[in-house]
Structures are given as C-alpha cells and as structure tokens.
Amino acid sequence: MGKEQERIKIRTNDFNFYYGDNRALHNISVEIPENRVVAFIGPSGCGKSTFLRSMNRMNDVIDGTSVKGAIVINGIDIYDKTVDVVELRKLVGMVFQKHIPFPKSIYDNVAYGLYLSGRKNKTEVEGIVEQSLKRSALWEEVKDRLNESAMSLSGGQQQRLCIARAVAVDPEVLLMDEPCSALDPISTAKIEELIGELKDTYTIIIVTHNMQQAARVSDFTGFFYMGNLVEFDKTRTIFTTPSKKETEDYITGRFG
Amino acid sequence: MTPLRHHRTTRSEFQKKVLGFFAVGITVVGGFIVFGTAMFMLLHFLIKGLPHISWEFLSQAPRNNNTEGGIFPAIYGTTFLVLTMALLGVPVGTATALYLTEYAKQQSFFAKSVRFAVNTLAGVPSIVFGLFGVGFFIQFVGGGIDSLAGMEGGAVFGHPALIWASATLSILTLPVVIVSVEEALKAVPRELREASLALGATKWQTIWKIVLPNSLTGILTGSILAVGRGAGEVAPIIFVGAVYSLPELPTGVTDQFMHLGYHLFVLATQSPDVDAVAPQQYATTVVLLMLTFGLNFTATIIRSRIRKKRLG
Amino acid sequence: MTPQTSGTNPFRRRKRHIGERIAEFTVRLTASISILMIFLILTFVLREAWGITAFLTETNSDKTEKGVVNEGSKAASSDSSSPDTYGETEEVSPDVPEEYNSDVQETITDSGTVNTTGGDEPESYNPDVTDYSASEENKAEPNISHEKKTLVQNLTSDTWQPVSSEPKFGLMPLILGTAKTTFIAILIGAPLGILAAIYTAFFAPRRLREVMKPVIELLAGFPSVVIGFFCLMLVADFVQITFGVEYRLNAIVGGIGLAIAIVPVIFTITEDSLMSVPKSYREASLALGATEWQTAFKVMLPAALPGVVAAVLLGVGRAFGETMIALMATGNAAVYSASMVEPVRTLAATIGAEMGEVIWGSLHYNILFMLGVLLFLVSFSINALTEFFVKGMLAKKFQGGT
C-alpha cells in the first residue's frame, strides 16, 4: 500500500487549541488516511485526547475553549461557521474511555441514535440494531435479552455495546478515547480484534496509553508530547526507526 | 501557617490540661444544649399531642370555638395550597436548575446574576413575600385580570385567594427546588451527556432523553422539600388568603382556605380559653410536624440514595 | 480554503433546529424569573409604600380617611382575625372623597370604586381637611412645609400607635425592639451553634455524631409557628419563673425563640465550613504536637472563620426578618425602652399583626409596606455581604493555601 494511494479523510492545518489562555495544542498538522486505524500515543496530559475530541467538536461543551487553524473532514473545515455540529457528530462517532451505556435497555441503547434522527420505522430500526450488534461482535451474546438493562452487561460487553451504539448511526469516522483502559485483557483483545474488522468500513482514530496496543491495532501512529505532534508516520516506522529523539525515548520507556 | 506557632506557650502542662478540659467542655455543653432542645421540643409535642389525635380530629371541622371537632379543613387547605404551589414552582425551579447546570457559562454575568438572585431569594424574610403577594399578585395581577375582564376590582381574582398564596409560596420555595434539582442534575455523569452528544443528539435531546430521566428522583426530592418548607410557612399567607375559619371547603383556586400553621397560630393567640383548646393546639402541632418532618425525612432518604448511587 | 464538493458532507449546511432554539430560549427565560422576582419584590413592595410620599405634603391626621376599603380584603380581614386588637378600627369616613391623588386612584381602580378625577377639585376637600386636622391636632397649622415635617417627625417619634384618632407612626420602638430581639438571639444562638458545630465536627464520638447532627438539623425543620407556640407555652413560663420578670412575654422570650430558629442555620454552615478545611491542616497541627483541642480552636476554627462569619450573618438576617416567633413570643407591645424584660414589637411582627386589618391604601398600609422595604433591603445587604465579602475571603484563603 503505497503512501500515494492513500485517500485522505481528515487533514488538519496548524490546528491550535486553547483552554482559556492556556494553549493545549500547538500547530498540529496531520493527514489521516481513509479506512485506516490511526493511533495517537503519548504521556498523560500531552494533548492527544484533546485533539481527538476536537475532531467531532466535543470540546465545544467545555466553557472557555477556543481553536485556531482548521480540521478538514471530507473537504470541509469542521470549525467553519456554517457547519452543523449535530450533523458533524453523526458523521464522526465517538467511543469513550468509560464504558457507560445509557441506563436503558440494550436495544434502546443501540436505537437511541436512530430515534434521534427521527427514524421510527420499527422493522428498519430492528434491522439496524441487529446489524450494529453483529458488527460489534455482541449479537450472539445479547440477542436473547435485548430488553434487559444495559447495566447488566459485563464491562467488556458494555464497551462493545457503546461501539454498537456509535456504529448504528452510520458514521464514517470512529474516534476511540482509550477504549480499553478500563477493561480486562480478554475484553481488550476482543475490542482490538473488533477494531481490525471495523476499519474496512470506518476511518478509526484511537487514543491510547498502551504502546503495545497502538503497535497491534494501528496502521499509523502519532506521538504527542506537551501539546505538540512530535512525529507521525506508519506504525512500523514509529516503533522501529523513529526519527525524533523524544519519540524514541518514550517508546523505549525512558519516560512517561 | 502562623496559627501553628501559637501553641508554643510557656504554660505548664497542668494549666494546659485544665484549659483543654474547659475548651472541650464548653463545646460539649453547647452541643448538648442544642441537641437537648431539639429532642425536648420533639418529645414535648409528641407526648402532649399524639394522645389527642383521632380519626375524628383528622376528619372533622372545628366546633365550639375550636375546643371540639377536628382540623380537617386546615389539612385540606394546606394540602391544596402546597400542591398548587408545587405545580407552579417546580417547573420554574427545574428549568432554572437546567439553565444553571446545562446552559450557563459559569463566568457569564447572567449566570452569576441568577445565582445571586436565587441566594437572595432564599434570604428574603418570609413576611416580605406576604407583602409582595398583596402588592403584586392580589392588587396588580389579580386586580388587573379582573379589570381586564371588565369586572369590578376584587370580584374574582383581585382578593386574597389560594392561588395567590400558592404563587407567593412557590417563589419563596423556589431556591429549595433549584438547589435540589441542581444537585440531581450534577449527579448525572458528564460521560452520559457526551455519549449522547457524540451520537448526534442536540443539547435539548440530550437533556430531555438522558439528563432529565436520570434526575427524576432529584426533582422529586426538590419538590418534596419545597412542599415541606411551604407547608410550615405562615407569615407569607396570613393576608394573602389564609383565613381563621371557613363555612365550606375551598373548591377552586380563587377561594380562601384554612391552613394548619395559621390555625395553630390562631389557636395559640386568639383563644378565649387557653386550657380548653390546649389539646387541639398540641394535636394540630403534631399533625403539622408530621407533615413537614415526614416530607423532609422522605426527601432525605431519596437524596442519600442518589448520593450513594453517585459514589458507587 | 475552498471546500471541495464531496459526496458525503451532510454537515455542510447548518440546520435550523427550531425546537432546540425554543427550548433554550424557554429555559433561559425561566431562569431569569429569579432575577425578575427580586426586582418585582422590591418594585411592588416599594410601589405600595410609595403612597407615603403623598402624605408628606398632606396633613398627617387624615390618613385613615384616605384609605379605600378593598372589598375583598375587608372580607378577608373580617374572617381572619388578627392577634392583637387595637380597640376599634376606625371607620372610613364617608364624606371625604376617596380620590385625591394619583396613588389612591390606583387603589380605587383595583377595588373598582367609581373613579372620578382626582386633581380636579382640590379646593373641595382641602379646607375641610385642614379644619379637621386643626381640630384634631392643636399644633397643626395649615402650613404645608410645617406639615411636611410633621410626618417625618411622626415617623421618628418614639410612639407606635397606628390605630387611634391621632395615629402615631414612630418607628423607633419597632427598630429598637427588632434590635433587642435580634441581639439576644445572636448572643444565645451564635455561641451555641458554633460550639455545637465544633463538638460534632471534632470531639463527639462517631456514633453520637451520627445521632446529634440529624437531630440538630431537624430543628431547622420546625416551622416557626411551632417554635413560637413552644415559646408561648413553655419558654415564657421558664423565663418568668427563672428571672421573676413582670411581663410573661418579653424581649428575652422572643430572643430565645429566635435563637432556636437560627441555631440550626449557624450550626449547619459552621459545621460545613469546619469540615471543608483541608485535612492536612489538622494533620500538620497534630504532627507538631498540638492537642486535639488546640488544633480545633487555634487551627481549624480560624481557618473556617469566613464560613463562621457567614453563618452568623445569615443568622442575623433570619432573626431580623422572622415573623411568627416574634409575633407570638415577644408580647407585641411597642414599648420604647432599653429593658430586656419588657415586651417588644419587631418590624416583621408589626407587619404580620397589622396587615390583616389595615385599610388598604391608607397611610398605615403604606407604612407597613415601607417596613417591608426596610426588611428587604437589610436582608439583601446581609446576603450581598456574605456573598461577596465572605466568599471572596474563603476563596483567597484556600486558593492560596493549597
């Protein structure tokens, strides 16, 4: 897969992010190819999560934040005034670190996003729910108890339910914010396997603490440090022959 | 950290011990005086009042200068009053709490003003609310409605009535509702909101489908606390609609009403024969206390459950 | 950068989300009700009190005649008897035309009485009134500037006798009475509340604390009318027997009643602020060899001082504006004296007692509303003081400390 053939899904140009006067991201410029898994790694507080949350404008909900520069998805600057945030978020789905389903039934959790966009046709919704649960490799485990509370599921199942929930609204990009950090190794393995399957359909961006995970699941890796994107390259390159000293120090475990 | 240095005194150990004994001693005395007063009042009223509570007392109207019969009209009037009050005040309080937790930018002038207004409202003497009820609700709103309808002033709305007493109390108890609901809204995890937003829900969809259903118990707690508070307030309603006695039960919101607290006040201060009404007074007090404490207790239990859920 | 037309750009054009806008607008609007109410309370209480200004240029003895009986209120006040009786309420003299200034006109419109023009025929009543006042009050002269002084003098005199042939509206005894009961309440309530808070926060065994705290907080749940009743029945006897005072109901009984009402307020806020002092303060102090009591009194209490000040201030506000307890336990006589064992009448109790049978629109009515404005302003100031001053102190303290 030659680099020239990659179709670029997301492109950022000198993107800066501010919490009040505090600059959290410095001139981030990166190109994220379509249908690939991209991982961002780095120590806590390095800005990788902030960057991820900027891509579906989730940071809008925090008071006193502002941005400079552009994030372009499908050729459109998502911070442009004409952009509808609600529609953007339908296109760019997100899975969070904490696997918290809504305190509703399993079925309603997956159907939630569909009802939001006004899809009321029962057979259609049922079809999408089933498909989404199958996609997230949860169908076999829950097909007989769709009406039970989602809280009754195990942690790993809950996280896969959250993925199903995000998949159901048919996004093009999936953002994952440390999706496995609260899970046991077996659940983690399942989610990682799932990520591999999902990348055929979606562009997946994953933020993780876990370098091995990044190495296992991603095609490209970016290393964040102190609000800067220090290095971004093919995962193999990053983990074998990083070009920057900081990246090498981090990967070899000298800090972080 | 200067206070830390004060204890390097040259006093002897003995003096220090005596001083310590005295210092702890006065807090013990203070604590037990307050605790004892509360217990004493509670027990006093229960012991004096409980024996006089009977079905007759709860279900009949007062007779023979309040020395016989019961207080049913007052119970009925109080219930009618506080339910109307909740109906008026809870939606306003909930919406205000929604604004403060979901919409307000914490540093915005408007949000700060709302907070300050709520705190101020909580500190306004209750009698001032009564004056406000007269000046605003009865004279201005009620009289205004009447004259707009072409009726003589005071014909239907422009006089003391249950609706105005309820409205007055709903403003008085607004801070109670707001504080409780706010706490409940804050207990809804931020992640739930974000998950909903990330699925393409609008802010209001998130509030309506995720935030509010998850804070229903909190809204209930707030309402119960407000009702408990409102049921015990007498000063604001004395001249906004409460009356000493009524030939018939109020049937609509423009009627006047009897009220437990006001009834107690009347019994305590207006009775020609104090000894003859004493049993009725104590029994009325117990009913009033059971109402307010019962409601507070219920609210406390619900609230502690919410807090546990929030922690767990 | 020019957006290239891509196949999938559903978020390109902003949707209207009309429902969303309406919802947000409604929520914001509703939130402003709290602010609006503060303004409305001040405006409308002031509006009813404003009638006083009309009397400033009138003689001061015709105020009762000016009043217009509101039919509704008359019915109400005949139903609801008020605690104190002041002999007979003066009848509205029928011959004086009810309307001769704009302010009264409003009342008339409300009460629906025929509203003839007010300012058209001042001569028809003016001599009449002056005669009347001259006959009633020997000192009064038909001199406007002198009479203007009279109402002010009346308000600052030391007699409160609103219902009589020659009403006296001296506020001094009411203000003094309020000050006395508030002072006694704080003198008793503040130390008790603070000491009890220190005890439950630092010294009480855990089990006892778990019982004590809710019981004390239960005290806050007693409706003030019940506390008033308690004072009337028991505290009054207790005080009379203990101190052998002449009057059964007096400033001390009222003060104790108010103290009962404010103790839980002071207790709760003090306890909260004691508990919110960082634990490290306590540990640091204990590690330096200080005893528990030294830590409590010399480290924790000073650190929580802004909270304690706030607690006491709020206690003052509560005692100052409390009506029912003052109404039931103070004896309600507007005696102008420094004695603590004589009956007193507080500002709030005056409103509570007299509002029920006052003639709506009369000078007496206006003055009661003026007392309301006074209560509102004082409570507002106390609240603003706690809000800005004390919170600022707290913030400084802990932001700097940790």
Q: List pLDDT tens digits, range A89-107.
A: 989 999 998 888 998 899 9
Measured between CA atoms, how close is B130 to chain C, in angstroms?
A: 9
Residue A256 belongs to some domain of the structure: no
In a domain, C64, yes or no: no
Higher pLDDT, C111 or B175: B175
Q: Which residue has the higher pLDDT, B54 or C158?
A: B54
What is the model's pLDDT at position B151? Answer: 73
- Minimal Cβ distance to B192: which of A58, A100, A113: A100
pLDDT number for residue A5? 66
C36 min Cα distance to partner chain B (Å):
9
**What is the predicted pLDDT for the residue at C195?**
95
| Chain C CA closest to residue A81 | C14
Please tell me which of the candidates B30, B38, B245 has its beta carbon nearest to residue C195. B30
Distance from CA of C199 to the nearest CA of B (A): 5
What span, in angstroms and rounded, lies between the C-alpha atoms of B259 and B243? 8
pLDDT given at position C127: 37
Chain C positions in Cβ-Cβ contact with residue A77 (cut-off 8 Å): 1, 3
The answer to which of B144-158, C71-85, C194-208, C318-332 has the lowest mean pLDDT is: C71-85
Share of chain B above pLDDT 70, in %: 94
Chains A & B: contacts with CB separation below 8 Å: 64
Return phi, psi of residue C163, to 5°: -115, 95
Does residue A244 belong to any structural domain of this protein? yes
**Cα gap A199→C164, rounded to integer Å:** 92
Which residues does chain A have within 8 Å of residue B193's beta carbon, measured at their own beta carbons? 61
Q: Can you give the pLDDT at residue A45?
A: 83
Nearest by CB: B95 against C31, C200, C296: C31
Q: How far apart are CA C265 and CA C314, in angstroms?
A: 8
Say if residue A63's pLDDT is above 90: no
Q: How far is A150 from chain B (nearest CA, A)?
A: 13
Position C394 confidence tier, pLDDT thresholds 50, 70, 90: low
| pLDDT attached to residue A106 | 93
What's the pLDDT at A83? 87
pLDDT in tens, C18-47: 888 899 999 999 999 999 999 999 999 998
Picking from C4, C10, C13, the nearest residue to A82 by CB comes out as C13
* Residue C259: inside a domain: yes
Categorize the per-residue pLDDT at C6 as very low, low, confident or very high, splitting at 50, 70 and 90.
Answer: very low
* Structural domain count, chain C: 1
Q: What is the pLDDT of residue B278?
A: 87
CATH code of C197's domain:
1.10.3720.10
Strand ranges in B27-177 using DSSP code E only, listed in sequence order: 62-63, 68-69
| More confident position, C392 or C239 | C239
State the Cα–Cα distance between residues C145 and C56, nearest whole angstrom. 9
Q: Name which of C73, C147, C58 is nearest C110 in CA terms.
A: C73
Q: Could you list the residue range(s) of the whole structural domain that residue A211 is in?
A: 3-251
In this structure, which amino acid lies at residue B310? R
Chain B hits for A100, Cβ within 8 Å: 189, 191-192, 195
The larger pLDDT score, comparing residue B56 to residue A204, is at: A204
Q: Which residue type is seen at C174?
A: L
Rounded to an integer, the average pLDDT of C213-227 is: 91
Residue C93 within any structural domain of the chain: no
Asked if A74's CB is within 8 angstroms of C8's CB, the reply is yes
pLDDT tens-place string over residues C248-266: 888 899 999 999 999 999 9
Residues of B in contact with C224 (CB under 8 A): 232-235
pLDDT bucket at B205, cuts 50 / 70 / 90 = very high
More confident residue, A49 or C163: A49
For A84, left (φ over 0), alpha (ψ -120 to 50), or beta? beta
The residues, any chain, with a CB within 8 Å of residue A183's CB and separated by 6 or more, are: A99, A155, A156, A159, A191
Which pLDDT belongs to residue B155?
72
Q: Which of C11 and A189 is assigned the larger pLDDT? A: A189
Report, as an integer, the average pLDDT of B172-195.
Answer: 92
Q: Considering the domain boundaries, does residue C165 fall inside one?
A: no
Count other C-beta atoms under 10 Å from residue C125's C-beta.
17
CA angle, corner B141, sides to B136 and B146, nearest 5?
140
Mean pLDDT computed over A59-67 = 86
Model confidence band, residue A1 (pLDDT cutoffs 50, 70, 90): very low
Residue pairs spanning B and C at CB distance below 8 A? 344
User: With bands split at pLDDT 50, 70 and 90, how would you rate the model's confidence at C9?
Assistant: low
Q: Which of B198, B201, B209 sits opposite A94 (nearest CB)?
A: B198
For range B255-284, the mean pLDDT: 88
Give residue C366's domain range. Answer: 172-401
Torsional class of A87: left (φ above 0), alpha (ψ -120 to 50), beta (otherwise): alpha
Distance CA C267, CA C344 (A): 27
Q: So what's the pLDDT on residue C341?
A: 79
B111 part of contact set with chain A, CB < 8 Å? no
Per-residue confidence (pLDDT) for residue C12, from 0 to 100: 63
- How far apart, in whole angstroms, are the C-alpha atoms of residue A113 and residue A119? 9
Residue C384's CB is within 10 A of a number of other CB atoms, namely 14
Please indicate whether residue C74 or residue C228 has the higher confidence score (pLDDT).
C228
Q: What is the pLDDT of residue B6?
A: 54
Question: Could you give the number of structural domains in chain A?
Answer: 1
Q: What single-letter amino acid sits at C399? A: Q
On whether any CB of chain C is under 8 Å from the CB of B108, the answer is no
CATH label of the domain that carries residue A64: 3.40.50.300
pLDDT over 70 (residue C110):
no
Check: CB of residue C174 under 8 Å from CB of residue C345. Answer: yes
Say what the pLDDT of residue A119 is.
78
| Alpha-carbon torsion angle A206, A208, A213, A218, nearest 10 | 30
Instruction: Please give the single-letter amino acid code of residue C117.
Output: T
Given pLDDT bands bounded at 50, 70 and 90, which one contains residue C271? very high
CB-based contact (8 Å) between A209 and chain B? Answer: no
Contact of C35 with B121, CB cutoff 8 Å: no
Question: Which of C14, C52, C324 to mutate against chain B (most B CBs within 10 Å)?
Answer: C324
Is C19 domain-assigned?
no
Whether the per-residue pLDDT at C173 is higher than 90: the answer is: no
pLDDT tens sequence across B100-159: 999 998 788 999 999 999 999 999 999 999 999 999 999 899 988 888 887 765 677 888
Q: What percent of chain B has pLDDT over 90?
A: 54
When mean pLDDT is compared across B10-19, B128-137, C119-128, C238-247, the lowest value belongs to: C119-128
Q: How far apart are CA C168 and CA C165, in angstroms?
A: 9
Task: Name the burial class of residue B264, with classes exposed (0-12), middle (13-18) and buried (19+) by CB atoms within 10 angstroms of its CB.
Answer: buried
Q: A102 and B202 in contact by Cβ < 8 A?
A: no
Across the range B243-254, mean pLDDT stands at 84
Q: What is the mean pLDDT of residues C346-358?
A: 88
In this structure, is residue A155 part of a structural domain?
yes
pLDDT of residue B309: 67
- In terms of CA atoms, which chain B residue is nearest residue C351? B127
Interface touch B191/A90, C-beta < 8 Å: no
From A69, which residue of chain C is nearest by alpha-carbon distance? C1
pLDDT, tens digit, 9 for 90 and up, residues C119-165: 333 333 333 333 333 334 444 444 444 444 467 777 777 778 777 77
| The pLDDT value given to residue A206 | 94
- Across the range C278-304, mean pLDDT stands at 89
pLDDT at res. C125: 38
With cut-offs at 50, 70 and 90, classify the pLDDT of residue A109: very high
How confident is the model over B282-309, as a mean pLDDT?
A: 86
For the segment C350-361, the average pLDDT, to the nearest whole number, is 86
DSSP annotation string for C131-142: HHHHHH-TT--S
B201 contacts A116? CB cut-off 8 A: yes
Residue C77 CA to residue C375 CA, distance in Å, equals 23
State the maximum Cα–Cα separation within chain A, in Å, rounded to a whole number: 56
Contact across the interface for A75 and C5, Cβ inside 8 Å: yes
Query: What is the pLDDT, as a whole number, of residue C87?
Result: 36
pLDDT for the residue numbered C317: 92
**pLDDT exceeding 90 applies to what percent of chain C?**
35
Q: Does B110 touch chain C (CB under 8 A)?
A: yes
Please, are residues A223 and A193 in contact by the beta-carbon 8 Å criterion? Answer: no
Mean pLDDT of the residues in chain C: 75
pLDDT digits (tens, 9 = 90+) for B292-302: 998 888 888 88
Q: Which of A250, A224, A221 lies closest to A238, judged by CA?
A: A221
Q: Does B204 contact chain A (CB < 8 Å)?
A: no
**Average pLDDT value for chain A:** 88
**Which of these ranges, A237-241, C15-19, C281-285, has the smallest mean pLDDT?**
C15-19
Q: Is residue A170 a part of any domain in this protein?
A: yes
Whether the predicted pLDDT of A148 surpasses 80? yes
